[in-house]
Amino acid sequence: MIKTALITGATSGIGYEFVKLFSRGGYNLVVVGRNEEKLDEIEQVFHHVEITRIQKDLSKPGAAKEIFEELSKLGITIDVVVNNAGFGLLGEFDTVSLEEQSRMIQLNITALTELTHYFLPYMKKMNDGKIVNIASTAAFQPGPLMAVYYATKAYVLSFSEALAEELKGKNITVTTICPGATKTNFGAAANVEHTIMFSNAMDAKEVAKQSYEGIMKGRRVVIPGAKNKAGAYAAKFLPRSLTAKIAKAVAGEK
């Protein structure tokens, strides 16, 4: 039977690359995003698999439930959830719009948690499934000047690793993807393109390729790119006050 992967943030960057890889892997797709034109394009380009498009703003409370209910009505069950949609914001905490930071928490944390909660019971019933949560190398240390963004990604990593252990022994894998700086719309949206951390950004295609391989192998954590891996491991052994200092420095101008 053909499996179905739900991908949030399918309209751009890493998510769009996942659309290519999962469709090539023979999955039917449920693609979620706000950008109607890009959703139209996905429907036209990836017509060799079944595409269900859902236009939804996941930063609005209740959005995950609406997606679950819409798919239930259509009789579509989900075998793979890729919680990829997310955004960041650069700036001193008290100067960044609280409304925007709350939307970020709702998208990066709440929608991801709720979608996982809604789709996991079916995976448990089938004893088969994959949950893929996109964190970041930001998950490994505090991030001054992007304090809330880094904290949302620390949540994603902690939540996903805990869930992976809960599900141990079942045929359901939970993979956390931790990309470093990647060339997508993220940089412009977060206003970080001009910062040191974006000096050696990876291509989204390569990030998604390494991630997809890790997902298919059932890896718990995937850190694409050798430099990102080295940075993440170093962060485990350095004092957090020092890693915070480094994160603050790389959030500065190139």
Ligand X SMILES: NC(=O)c1ccc[n+]([C@@H]2O[C@H](COP(=O)([O-])OP(=O)(O)OC[C@H]3O[C@@H](n4cnc5c(N)ncnc54)[C@H](OP(=O)(O)O)[C@@H]3O)[C@@H](O)[C@H]2O)c1
The residues annotated as belonging to the active site are 149
Report the distance separating Cα 139 and Cα 29, nearest Å.
28
Report, in Å, the least distance between residue 131 CB and ligand X.
15
Identity of the residue, 152 or 173, whose beta carbon is nearer to ligand X in the bound complex: 152
Q: Of 4, 12, 160, 210, which lies in the binding site for ligand X, with binding defined by CB under 6 A?
A: 12
Report, in Å, the least distance between residue 132 CB and ligand X.
11
Q: Of 4, 5, 6, 14, which lies in the binding site for ligand X, with binding defined by CB under 6 A?
A: 14
Work out whether 34 is an interface residue with ligand X (CB under 6 A).
yes
Instruction: Write the single-letter amino acid at 174.
Output: V
Work out whether 33 is an interface residue with ligand X (CB under 6 A).
yes
Work out whether 30 is an interface residue with ligand X (CB under 6 A).
no
Which of positions 116-145 make contact with ligand X (CB under 6 A)?
134, 136
Work out whether 231 is an interface residue with ligand X (CB under 6 A).
no
Work out whether 28 is an interface residue with ligand X (CB under 6 A).
no
Work out whether 225 is an interface residue with ligand X (CB under 6 A).
no
> Do the Cβ atoms of 139 and 178 come closer than 8 Å?
yes
Which of positions 163-202 make contact with ligand X (CB under 6 A)?
179, 181-182, 184-186, 189
Work out whether 228 is an interface residue with ligand X (CB under 6 A).
no
**What are the helix and strand counts (H, E) for the chain?**
10, 9
> Do the Cβ atoms of 15 and 7 come closer than 8 Å?
yes
Report, in Å, the least distance between residue 9 CB and ligand X.
3
Alpha carbon 78 to its chain's center: 17
First to last CA, the chain: 50
Q: How far is CA 226 from CA 137, 202, 210, in A?
A: 12, 11, 11
Report, in Å, the least distance between residue 57 CB and ligand X.
5
For residue 128 the two structure tokens come to: 């088969």
The sheet carrying 221-222 orders its strands as 51-55, 28-33, 4-8, 80-83, 129-134, 172-177, 221-222
Work out whether 107 is an interface residue with ligand X (CB under 6 A).
yes
Backbone angles phi, psi at 69, to 5 degrees: -70, -40
Work out whether 15 is an interface residue with ligand X (CB under 6 A).
yes
* Sign of the torsion formed by the C-alpha atoms of 175, 180, 183 and 184: positive
By CB under 6 A, name the binding residues for ligand X: 8-15, 33-35, 38, 57-59, 84-88, 107, 134, 136, 179, 181-182, 184-186, 189
